[in-house]
Amino acid sequence: MAKKKEGWKELPIGAIIVEPGSSRKFKTGDWREGKKPVVDKDKCTNCLFCWISCPDSAIIVKDGEMKGFNLDYCKGCGICFTQCPVNAIEMVDEEKE
């Protein structure tokens, strides 16, 4: 990084972090080791078990409906794949669609 890091004069007192949820600027999607989750929406019943079980809040839900995965943050652990009661989620190789 070319940008100079902030010194103690620029940092907030006590190095407190003033922006809530700023970790979202740090994308963890590139941690995946070659596998990503895909959902078959024909099978999905929107039970949201995947959503409640995801350690990285990477399941997108809108109005109570499961809409897919936020691959910016998904670390590819596969918990959603094991928790889906109707086997609608599969882990596939990243290259293939």
Partner 1 sequence: MGINLKELSKQEDFFTSGHRACAGCGPAIALRQALLVAGKDTVVSFSTGCMEVVSTIFPYTAWKVPYIHSLFENSAATMSGVEAAYNALKRKGKIKKDINLIAFGGDGGTYDIGLQALSGAMERGHNMLYICYDNQAYMNTGIQRSGATPYGASTTTSPSGKVIPGKTRRRKDLTEIMAAHNIPYAAQASISDWRDYMTKVEKARSIKGPKFIVVFAPCQLGWYYKKEDTIKIADMAVKSRFWPLYEVENGVHKITKDPKKVIPVEDWLKLQGRFRHLFKGENKKIIEEIQREVDMRWERLKKLEEAGL
With respect to partner 1, which residue has the nearer C-beta, 68 or 78?
78
Does 26 engage in binding with partner 1 (CB under 8 A)?
yes
Q: How far is the CB of 8 from partner 1 (least distance, A)?
A: 12
> Mapped to the 3 state alphabet, what secondary structure does 70-90 carry?
CCCCCCCCCHHHHHCCCCCEE
Q: What is the footprint of partner 1 within residues 37-66 (CB under 8 A)?
A: 46-49, 51-58, 61, 63-64
CA distance linking residue 22 with residue 16, whole number of Å: 12
Count of residues binding partner 1 (CB under 8 A)? 42
Q: How far is the CB of 82 from partner 1 (least distance, A)?
A: 5
**Contact with partner 1 (CB under 8 A): which of 3, 25, 42, 85?**
25
Amino acid at 77: C
Does 86 engage in binding with partner 1 (CB under 8 A)?
no
> 84-95 burial string, b = 16+ CB within 10 Å, else e?
beeebbebeeee
Does 15 engage in binding with partner 1 (CB under 8 A)?
yes
Q: How many CA atoms lie within 13 A of 34 on its CB side?
A: 0
